Amino acid sequence: MKLEQKKNELIRLYTQSVTAEAEKKKAELINISIALKNLSGKQKELDNVLQAEIKQDTLLKKLKDARTDDEIYTTLQELHGLLTRKTQDWKKDRDDLARLRSELEQRPVLHSTFLDLDVKWHSQLKAKEIDSLQQALAGLKQSREQIVNVQLKFLREELARTLQEYGAARAQIDQRAKQTAAKEAEYLAQIGTLTKSANEIRAEVEEMFKLFLPDAKDISNKTARSLAFALAKCPETLGRNIDSEPWVLLLKAADTDLAFSSPLWNNEALQPDADVKDTHELVGRSAKYSTFCTLPVSELLVVFRDGSNERKTQLRLPQRKPLREVFADPNPSRLEYLSGAKDPIELICGSQEGGFSFYEPVWRINSFSTAKGSKFKCRLGGYFHSEAEQPCGTDKGNCPCGARMAGFGLEDKQWQPLTQGKKSFGVRCSADRTDFGKGQLQAQAMIYGR
C-alpha cells in the first residue's frame, strides 16, 4: 500500500515537472516569435533607411548641380528635413535596441543570435551613416559659402543703390531749400511793401475820418465825406451829424414786425425804407439797413422822437462788431451808459416814473429769464419793477429779469391777455396792465452806430 502511494506521488511530481517545463518552453517559443517579428520590423526599417540613403544621395547630387539661389535653398531645406527624420529614427532605434538587448540578455538562447545580427546591422548602418554625413557636410559647407557670397553681393548692390538714391535726394533737398529761401525773401519783401501800403492807407483813412470828429462843426468837404462812407462800405444817405458828431443809421423800429422773435434781428435780410427822402425820419415803419449787417460799431445812439421832442441815449458795446453779430449771439450783452436818457422809460416818457426802478444793468441786449415758464424777452433795453415786485428769474448773465420791460424787440407770452404782447419799440407790462402810467406804450425809435 505504501509502495502504491509512493508510486502515485512520483507520478504526480513528474507530471508537475513536465508541465512546468512545457509551460516554460512555450513561453520561450512565444518570446522567440516576438523577437523574430521585431527582427522582421527591423529589416523593414533598414529598407527605409536604405531608401533614405538613396534619397540623400539624390539630394546631394541635386545640391551640387544647383545654379540658382532658390534651387540651393530648396534643396538644403529638403536635405535638412531628411537628416532631421533620420536623427529621430536613429534615436528611436537606439532606444528599441537597448530595450530588446535588455530582454534578450535574460534569454541566453537568443542572446548570441541577436548579438550577431546587431553587430552586422550596426556595422552596415554605421558605414553608410559616416559616408552620408561626410557627403552632407561637404555639400552644406559648399552651399553655405555660395549663400554667403550671394548675400554679400546682394548687400553690396543694395548699399550702392541706397547711397546713389541718398545722393540724389540730398541734391533735391538742397535745391528746394535754395528755392524756399528765395521765395521766403520774396514774400518778406512783398509783406514789407504791403505793410507800408497798409500803413499809408490807414493814415489816409484816419485823415478822412478826422472830418467827422466831435469838434467838427460842419462838413463842407463833400468829396471827403463820400470817400469816408465808401471806406465804411455804407450808403452816404445813411450818414448824419447829430450834435455835431458823425453817426450812421442802422435800424428804425416801429409797429410789431421787430418783436423779439423776428428773424430780422440776426439774419442778413434787409427791410428797405419805403421813402428814401425820409430816411432819418420816423414815419411809422420799421427799416433794417445794410449797415446793420456789415458796419462794425462800438457805440450806439438811440434816438426817440415824439413830434418836435427828440430824446437820445448814447451807449457803448462790449466790443466793436456789426450789430447783427451782437444780436445773433445767444448770450446777453451788457451795454455801458455814456450820456442822454438814463433808462428806456426816461427815453420814451421824458422823465422817470415814480414808484418804479430798473434792474441792473439798465441797458442790455438779448436778455431774458432762464427760469422755467418765464416768457418775457427783450432785444435791447431793460426790465423795471415796482417796490413790491420780485424778479422773474435771471438771464444767462445772472442778471435779474422782471414782468415789465422797455426798449426794442419786446415780446411777452406769459399771462393773458396778450393784446399788447409784441412791440418793435415801447413799454410792455404783463397781462396788458396799465397800472404804470404808459404801461402799454407802443412807440418808434432809431438806432445809429459808429
Please count the other Cβ atoms lying within 10 Å of the Cβ belonging to residue 223: 8
pLDDT at 219 (0 to 100): 42
pLDDT at 232 (0 to 100): 52
pLDDT at 310 (0 to 100): 87
Q: Report CA-CA distances (Å) from 179 to 176, 185, 258, 274, 308.
A: 5, 10, 59, 60, 72
Model confidence over 116-126: pLDDT tens digits? 555 555 555 55
- In this predicted model, which residue has the larger pLDDT, 426 or 146? 426
pLDDT band at 178 (very low <50, low <70, confident <90, very high): confident
Most confident of 122-136, 189-203, 262-276: 262-276
Cα–Cα distance measured from residue 154 to residue 141, given in angstroms and rounded to the nearest whole number: 20
Mean per-residue pLDDT, 170-193: 82
pLDDT at 335 (0 to 100): 94
Nearest to 367, CA basis, from 420, 326, 316, 325: 326
pLDDT > 70 in the chain, percent: 59
pLDDT band at 332 (very low <50, low <70, confident <90, very high): very high
Nearest to 413, CA basis, from 382, 378, 373, 375: 375
- In this predicted model, which residue has the larger pLDDT, 357 or 54? 357
pLDDT band at 407 (very low <50, low <70, confident <90, very high): very high
pLDDT band at 236 (very low <50, low <70, confident <90, very high): low
Mean per-residue pLDDT, 406-415: 88
Tell me the sheet residues that pair with 253.
445
pLDDT over 60 (residue 102): yes
pLDDT over 60 (residue 299): yes
The one-letter amino acid code at 318 reads P
Tell me if 425 sits within 8 A of 254, measured CB to CB.
Answer: yes
Please count the other Cβ atoms lying within 10 Å of the Cβ belonging to residue 218: 8
pLDDT over 70 (residue 34): no
Tell me if 375 sits within 8 A of 414, measured CB to CB.
Answer: yes
Kindly report the length of the chain: 450
Tell me if 381 sits within 8 A of 317, measured CB to CB.
Answer: no
pLDDT band at 39 (very low <50, low <70, confident <90, very high): low
* Upstream peptide bond of 417 is cis (omega within 30 degrees of 0): yes
pLDDT at 447 (0 to 100): 95
- In this predicted model, which residue has the larger pLDDT, 242 or 351? 242
Model confidence over 56-98: pLDDT tens digits? 677 667 766 767 767 766 776 776 676 677 666 666 666 666 6
C-alpha cell at 222: 463833400
pLDDT over 50 (residue 202): yes
Mean per-residue pLDDT, 32-60: 66
- In this predicted model, which residue has the larger pLDDT, 74 or 387? 387
pLDDT over 60 (residue 184): yes
pLDDT over 90 (residue 334): yes
The one-letter amino acid code at 80 reads H
pLDDT at 211 (0 to 100): 47
pLDDT at 214 (0 to 100): 39
Give the predicted TM-score (pTM) of the model: 0.51
Quick one: residue 417, left, alpha or beta (phi over 0 = left, psi -120 to 50 = alpha)?
Answer: beta
In the chain, where the domains are located? 2-160, 237-450
Lowest mean pLDDT among 74-78, 86-90, 106-110, 282-286: 106-110
Give the mean pLDDT of the chain: 75
Tell me the sheet residues that pair with 400.
394
Lowest mean pLDDT among 79-93, 111-125, 171-185, 242-256: 111-125
Model confidence over 204-222: pLDDT tens digits? 655 555 544 433 334 444 4
